[in-house]
Amino acid sequence: AQKVTQAQTEISVVEKEDVTLDCVYETRDTTYYLFWYKQPPSGELVFLIRRNSFDEQNEISGRYSWNFQKSTSSFNFTITASQVVDSAVYFCALSVGISSGSARQLTFGSGTQLTVLP
Amino acid sequence: NAGVTQTPKFQVLKTGQSMTLQCAQDMNHEYMSWYRQDPGMGLRLIHYSVGAGITDQGEVPNGYNVSRSTTEDFPLRLLSAAPSQTSVYFCASSYDGGLYNEQFFGPGTRLTVL
């Protein structure tokens, strides 16, 4: 069975601080993908990034960066110089194949509520 | 493109009532799915479909039915609503069922069962 743990339920920072959101996953599959989604107060989930299990390169996109470490089964997300608009719930998700068919099973973590104060 | 649309946005039901949550996408995606979001539990998969005429159960299918008669539409039916089905429901679609495909989500339906 797959599992995604986001131990930080809520994080509050002051604008311009850096913040890291933790994600730890469990799977026995050797091929899988990891995702981060953002859910702003408007409610709609927005895709941020994907990483496959064979690519441990870290990635930076503007103020966002992701650190993928298979050795610790972690896929952490860092926001540099946070802004009020970053306030949202952030979900980490794990995608693995379903043995009975071609579709994948997507397992979400419970989410981290990030509040950036002005 | 409208993306993924859901109706209604809000709904209040009484225990035992039935209703259908509508979901449509205009991106010609093969894969569609329904999730429910409950506090502290993230999103849990209810049902999914890998194409028209094909559906399967997810993690929490009890009390829900789905059908996929067209590529565009994937309605979710609550057969006899229960208070435990109070939740926010999201419909999502992706190009196909591949591991790598990101999902596009609708705006959600907030359902309250009294």
Q: Let me know: does A99 contact A106? Beta carbons within 8 Å.
A: no
What length is written for chain A? 118
pLDDT mean over B43-57: 93
pLDDT at A60: 86
pLDDT at B94: 92
A40 reaches B (C-beta below 8 A): no
Q: How confident is the model at residue B1 (pLDDT cuts 50, 70, 90)?
A: confident
Please name the member of B31, B92, B105 whose beta carbon is closest to the beta carbon of A103. B31
Q: What share of chain B in percent tops pLDDT 70?
A: 100
pLDDT at A105: 77
Question: With 90 as the cut, is the pLDDT of residue A102 above it?
Answer: no
pLDDT mean over B74-94: 97
Greater confidence (A24 vs A104) lies with: A24
* Residue pLDDT, tens place only, A55-94: 888 888 899 999 999 999 999 999 999 999 999 999 999 9
Can you say whether the dihedral through the CA atoms of B59, B26, B9, B64 is positive or negative?
Answer: negative
* Residue pLDDT, tens place only, A12-62: 999 999 999 999 999 998 889 999 999 999 999 999 999 988 888 888 889
B2 reaches A (C-beta below 8 A): no
- Amino acid identity of residue B32, one-letter, is M
pLDDT mean over B58-67: 95
Tokens of B39: 């506090």
| CA-based nearest distance B15→chain A, Å | 26
Question: With 90 as the cut, is the pLDDT of residue A101 above it?
Answer: no
- Amino acid identity of residue B61, one-letter, is P
- Judged by CB atoms closer than 8 Å, whether chains meet at A103 and B48 is answered as yes
Cα-based distances in Å from A56 to A75, A77, A92, B79: 10, 14, 16, 45
Tokens of B94: 């992706």
